[in-house]
Structure 1
Amino acid sequence: MILDTFRLDGRVAVVTGAGRGIGAATALALAEAGADVALSARTATQLDEVAGKIRALGRKAITIPADLSDLSTVAGLADATAAELGRLDIIVNNVGGTMPNTFMTTSADFLEDAFRFNVATAHALTQAAVPHMLKNDGGSVVNISSMMGRSAGRGFLAYGTAKAALAHWTRLAATDLSPRIRVNAIAVGSVLTSALEVVAQQPEIKAKMEAATPLQRLGEPWEIAAAIVYLSSRAGGYITGKVLEVDGGIEAPNLELGLPDL
């Protein structure tokens, strides 16, 4: 049955930024597909809530509250997951993000921090996970990039540059780690997470964003999670080094920050 190829029974995943939004939805989706899941983010109470839902599905869940901007800490998730859950098969590098900023207030340090949080964290965790994945049948890595990594909009220089770097890191890492470990990414569009709470509470702004999106709506976290299950499972087993665009069809930013000319 084709649906059986989406199953993840006997697999173990680690999801960063798993306390809410896309990370929480992904952790639940992976568990629904049969995986046990290690969850990491800053806020323990959020992780505990997600872990409770996973355990209610009959799957195992462990929580690792941590500051994932620390590269040694994020790398340590691989060993901790394998030690607690017995193996490691799937990495979802979801932690990341950078606040909008004008060009003249985007310092070199700010740009470097964006690269570190969005790219170096993914590299550190994946590199630490490789030995564990190779002990079994290989594995799958899914990185959360953004449509801003392939389009231009004012205020997104640091964020867009970092996400573009993550997308190309995906292609290069896939080449290095093939054939046993697949590496893919998702270019996410505007999704209704806590990051867009302010937008969602302002009907006029939300309506403008929806009007600028070909599908005429914003995305839902579960829609990104569904794509991650696909890329993590045998259903996506012939895909590596690709960036899957799950963005409602947008080709340009659908949120105008209103930054003036210099």
Structure 2
Amino acid sequence: MDTSKFFDLKGKTAIVTGGANGIGKACCQILAAYGAKVVVSDYNLEAAEKTSKEINADGGKSIAIDCDVTKDDALVNLVDKTVKEFGSIEILVNNVGGGGAGKESPYDISVEQFKKVFDMNVFSMWRLCQLVAPHMKKAGYGSIINMSSMASINKSPAISAYASSKAAINHMTRNLAFDYGPDNIRMNAIGPGATRTHALSTVLTPELEKAMLKHTPIKRLGEAVDIAGAVLYFASPISSWTSGQVIFINGGGEQTLDM
């Protein structure tokens, strides 16, 4: 068995939305390390350029493109600039997401706020898939990885917009796999559990961490590289017969807050 090409991404171009920090940054780094040319896409261009420069300094090849995924012209510009710079698109990591626990009480959240979560988490993903698909078909290789969440299957208070948007991503992924599969484009999703990012660090306490790990067999929170490892699998030839799947990276359990 020749395993040399299983994780070989040389000659392939990857777009990662929300790629400047956290999970997105780890995805950019790991894809570049395995040979992909990486577009670090983020609404914060300065942060995206910093990540891109780090990748290039480590021997990778990367550019940064500013993109607000809720604006259609920004999504079109992202795809056009990527193709102009690198000539093709083979990998898309739809990583951007917004909303969250404790912020979405139905007594307080407005319809516009609820809609905004879907604009960012669902509609932007669907549209970007639509934009990159013709380029993937032309390249003869396509892997789209959508970032879901454990919230898509858990039940918690004050998170109805975010959780339902992530559940929509799961089902959208499974259905789009049928639409794009004949063009050799694979579509999969990843649902991270509680992962150490800057956002989590702003609220995490030792007591909260202990509560979150009560039902987690592997007794630690996730790291960004844990999620990036799953992205690498889905992006690579090793998963060439894997499509329409949602995988949860969560230490084997649920990071719930019940004591």
Measured against the shorter chain, the TM-score band is over 0.9
Query: Which residue in the other structure is 1:171 paired with?
Result: 174
| 1:186 corresponding residue in structure 2 | 190
Corresponding residue for residue 39 of structure 1: 40
Q: Is the CA contact (8 Å cut-off) linking 1:26 and 1:222 kept in structure 2?
A: yes
Q: CA shift at 1:3, angstroms? A: 5.3
Residue in 2 aligned with 1:91?
A: 92
- Looking at structure 1, the residues matched to 170 and 176 of structure 2 have their Cα atoms a distance apart, in angstroms, of 10
Partner of 1:68, secondary structure, is: coil
Q: Which residue of 2 aligns with 1:109?
A: 112
Tell me the equivalent position of 1:255.
257
Match in the other structure for 1:68: 69
Q: 1:151 maps to which residue?
A: 154
One-letter code aligned to 1:159: Y
Does residue 119 (structure 1) correspond to residue 125 (structure 2)? The answer is no
- SS of the residue 1:178 aligns to: helix
List runs of 5+ in structure 2 lacking aligned partners: none
Partners in 2 of 1:213 and 1:72 — Cα distance? 42
Indicate conservation of the 8 Å contact 1:22/1:193, yes or no: yes
2: CA distance between counterparts of 1:3 and 1:69? 39
Structure 1 stretches of 5 or more lacking a match?
A: none
Matched, 1:221 2:224: yes
Aligned to 1:129: 132
Q: Once structures 1 and 2 are overlaid, which stretch shifts more, 51-60 or 25-34?
A: 51-60
SS in 2 for 1:167: helix
- Secondary structure of the corresponding residue to residue 2 of structure 1: coil
Distance, in Å, in 1 between the alignment partners of 2:252 and 2:105 is: 26
Secondary structure at 1:177 match in 2: helix
Q: Normalising to structure 1: TM-score of the pair?
A: 0.92
Q: Give 1:141's aligned residue.
A: 144
TM-score by length of 2: 0.93
Identity %, equivalent residues: 36
Please report how far the alpha carbon of residue 40 of structure 1 lies from its aligned counterpart in structure 2 after TM superposition.
0.9
Paired residue type of 2:199: A
CA distance in 1, matches of 2:65, 2:50: 13
Secondary structure of the structure 1 residue equivalent to 2:96: coil
Q: Which amino acid aligns with 1:15?
A: V
Cα-to-partner distance string for 1:19-52 (whole Å, 9 max, x where unaligned): 1000000000000010001111122221122111
Q: CA deviation at 1:233?
A: 0.6
Distance across 2 between alignment mates of 1:91 and 1:170: 13
Aligned counterparts of 1:102 and 1:255: Cα–Cα separation in 2: 17
**Distance between the aligned counterparts of 2:54 and 2:3, measured in 1?**
27
1:224-259 CA-partner distances (Å, limit 9, x unpaired):
1010010011111110011011112224x5236x9x
> Does the 8 Å CA contact 2:27/2:228 hold for their aligned counterparts?
yes
Distance 2:155 2:60 in 1: 42
8 A Cα contact 1:106 1:158, kept in partner: no
Amino acid across the alignment from 1:149:
S
CA contact (8 A) 1:75 1:124 kept: no
SS at match of 2:213: helix
Report if aligned partners of 1:72, 1:124 keep a CA contact under 8 Å in 2: no
Contact 2:42 2:66 in 1 (8 A): yes
User: Residue 198 of structure 1 aligns with which residue?
Assistant: 202
- May I ask how many residue pairs the two structures share in their alignment? 255
| Structure 2 Cα separation of the partners of residues 4 and 207 of structure 1 | 41
Shift of 1:153: 0.7
- In structure 2, distance between residues paired with 1:75 and 1:193: 29
Residues 6 and 33 in structure 1, CA contact (< 8 A), matched pair in contact too: yes
- What SS does the corresponding residue of 1:4 show, helix, strand or coil? coil
